[in-house]
Structure 1
Amino acid sequence: MRRPLWTRSGATLPSGFAAFLALGASAAAWGAALPWLRVRYDLGTGGGEEVISAYNLGALVAILTCGLLSRRLRPRPVLAGALIALGGGLTAAALAPTWGFLLVSAVVGGVGFGGSVLVLNTGYAAGPRGVVMVNLVNAVFGVGAIAAPLLVAEWDLPAVLAAIACAAVVALPVVAGPVGAHTPTPPVDRATVVAIAPFAVIGFLYAGVETSAGAWVSTHLTWTGTDPAAAARMTALFWAGLAVGRLLIPLVARGPEVIVPASFLLATAGLVIAVNPTLAPVGYTLTGLGLAPIIPTALVWLARITPHAHLAGSALLTSSMLGNVIHPALVGTVTTRDHPATIPLAITTYATLGVLAALWTSRHRPIPSAT
């Protein structure tokens, strides 16, 4: 068995933190920057959400490609290429002369995002103290997601994207770290597919809340009369809720079948509160807190009910990324500047369906491991 690579380089863990800092910042920057992008590229009052879908489309392509070719691709070259694509795509976006060029750059950056998230999370999970490390690096992801809206409020978007790209380059030494070797995915039967399907729905609906909120919070607050810079700062509260919630997971750990529906319920309550413009910052903070435990806890839940945890986790992540591509644009089709409340109400639909999906999933029993 190959020995874990945690101590091979002193730069490995700090560069891992840099990678997740860049990933979190890149995920959160686009939504906070929508008001700026609309002015810069003359997109009108309700346009621009295509850049978020483009970014997540690139991520989805990367995750699907890495999954389908997992037996042929080696993790280290994939991770190196992904970080370079992330940095290169963001740099190109910072210099984009036209809206179309920016969208293409966002797709390239998204490819880097998806490949990096997949390889790094898999590597840290397989290493020593995997549960602690995965939660730690994803908390750093949350720090990046908090910082990005704050930076967008103070700087122009090109400067923010360039800074994130630099962090991605600084993270390259992580390639020598905990990426390990992939093991072949075992064959699955119909019972496994039936067990995994509800989790794919959970991932899809989770993305409907997280990505749509991250993309539209700033716009909602701006449409209710908040200054764009202040709205960007308030958007950071949503990401702060996500980061803090991940750190609180060990303190609230009960059965996954209780945590996941309860988390969706808290997110739903937060979105309902956000309909009131005065309470919107509080509501979005609660939404972030509610969402935080869902994906990590769902992965633990999957490991308990099926022996094919790796395949199941890939399905969960893929469905979540698919939702990231679809949902922000869907929310844009039902929202109008004249009725800002349509934004949190549209996102509430996903959270409510998430509660029902989680309750449905709790009815599934574990699948016995093959002997």
Structure 2
Amino acid sequence: MRDLLKTNAGLLAVGILTFILMGAGQSLYGPALPVFARDYDIRLGIAGLLVSAHWIGCALGVAAMFVWGRHVTPRLVVVIMGIGALLLATGVAWAVTLAGGLVFGAGYGCATVVFNPRMLRAFGARGPAMVSLLNATFGIGAIGAPLVFVALGNDPLTTYAICAGLALALVLLAGKAGGAEVVAPSTTDGGFRPHWPALGFAVIAIGIEASLIGLGPAALIKAGETETAAAQLLSAFFLAFLAARLLLTFTAHLLPSFTLFALAMLGTCLTSVLAAAGAPGPSFVAMGFFAGLFFPSEYVTASRKMGTHPMVAPAIIAAGLVGGIAFPLMVSPFLYALGAHGFFWLAAATSGALALVAFASLRPMNR
């Protein structure tokens, strides 16, 4: 393992810093939505379109990787995210803010395809644990950014400007690893074989995760929390999210990946029920732990089912993006109509139904 770390130190370092930036940028959407709604004089449901813009950008980034993936470097990915953060920081107009979310999301989508499959292959048998570690570092940025947002007086423009500055610093400091082509060459494993059940689970799981992250703070405010408290709870959500992924780094080999996925869905259902029943703050934080298990367990399961073809990683991530785009887009216009705790009842119903299907599918999915 020590030799693997030495050989892949550059890739690991750039990947960690990039994922911290990804976490910071995405986590700001939730606490920023009420501020953008107020500043641009739009309804909260319309402001929620920023979350969908991010995920549409992710989809465009992943689609681009199908065509140009061999030529996309870590440095280029960070440049794209930096431009998106800069647009979000301008505060010029709502259309520019939406464009910023779209561009940041495009870089985010490219980054997931650039780093995850490479880490899985580079570290061999420890690949699943290293994928968990890489995605855990996302939580560092996601924890810190809302706290910075609160410290700056709930100012999304300055906070996104800081993200743009961090992107510029990473571009300058990335070195050779930042310019390296990191998408592995084509393999000859019999062609691309999509596994539709695994991709279907990805659609719903990432849809739930995107809704919790992007719309959860607005739902907390609807349930009676202040804007500042909602931002702080989102940081705590990501602290639990980070804890789950760090735990996976040491325990991913103890349980089959899809068993972890099913347990994560059950935990999300139970904590959503508790949130809807009158304890939204602590329960939302607990949801972060279970949401942190979604992507690593699903990605490893789907990769095992679909093989090592270069189209596998973009396909898995694209499936998740379908949910990431569609779920917030469908839910955000109805945030007020759902009532004080309706968002959490909806999360409970969705995650509970998926948990039932997942437990019924354990044997074939773990095979």
Question: TM-score, normalised to structure 1's length?
Answer: 0.86
Partner residue, 1:154: 151
Partner residue, 2:75: 80
Partner residue, 1:284: 284
Gaps of 5+ in 2: none
Is 1:265 matched with 2:266?
Answer: yes
- Partner Cα distance (1:265, 1:96) in 2: 40
- Partner Cα distance (2:284, 2:188) in 1: 41
Which of 107, 113, 124 aligns to 2:108? It is: 113
Partner residue, 1:58: 57
Is 1:326 matched with 2:326?
Answer: yes
Maintained 8 Å contact 1:257/1:362: yes
- Partner Cα distance (2:360, 2:67) in 1: 29
Partner residue, 1:19: 18
Partner of 2:47, secondary structure, is: coil
Is 1:103 matched with 2:95?
Answer: no
- Partner Cα distance (1:19, 1:109) in 2: 12
Partner residue, 2:184: 182
Change over 3 Å in CA distance of 1:323–1:365 after alignment to 2 = closer
Deviation at 1:158, TM superposition (A): 0.9
Higher relative helix content: 2
Is 1:125 matched with 2:126?
Answer: no
Deviation at 1:238, TM superposition (A): 1.8
- Partner Cα distance (2:366, 2:213) in 1: 34
Change over 3 Å in CA distance of 1:230–1:68 after alignment to 2 = same
Is 1:93 matched with 2:88?
Answer: yes
Change over 3 Å in CA distance of 1:4–1:354 after alignment to 2 = same
- Partner Cα distance (2:232, 2:366) in 1: 44
Worse-superposed segment, 355-364 or 153-162: 355-364
Deviation at 1:45, TM superposition (A): 4.3
Deviation at 1:5, TM superposition (A): 10
Partner residue, 1:208: 207
Runs of 4+ in 1 over 6 A off after TM superposition: none
Maintained 8 Å contact 2:51/2:328: yes
Partner residue, 1:217: 216
Maintained 8 Å contact 2:207/2:322: no
- Partner Cα distance (2:16, 2:321) in 1: 22
Deviation at 1:57, TM superposition (A): 0.6
Deviation at 1:29, TM superposition (A): 0.8
- Partner Cα distance (1:308, 1:7) in 2: 21
Partner of 2:340, secondary structure, is: coil
Change over 3 Å in CA distance of 1:183–1:15 after alignment to 2 = closer
1:249-302 Cα shifts (integer Å, max 9, x gaps): 23373123422111100011111111134x212211221211222321223333
- Partner Cα distance (1:305, 1:181) in 2: 20
Give the AA of the match of 1:300: V
Deviation at 1:24, TM superposition (A): 0.7
Which of 144, 152, 163 aligns to 2:141? It is: 144
Worse-superposed segment, 132-141 or 215-224: 132-141
Partner residue, 1:226: 225
Name the count of aligned residue pairs.
356
Partner residue, 2:351: 351
Change over 3 Å in CA distance of 1:175–1:82 after alignment to 2 = farther
Give the AA of the match of 1:182: A
Change over 3 Å in CA distance of 1:168–1:123 after alignment to 2 = farther
- Partner Cα distance (1:186, 1:64) in 2: 22
Deviation at 1:355, TM superposition (A): 1.2
- Partner Cα distance (1:90, 1:327) in 2: 23
Maintained 8 Å contact 2:207/2:328: yes
Change over 3 Å in CA distance of 1:166–1:224 after alignment to 2 = same
Deviation at 1:328, TM superposition (A): 0.8
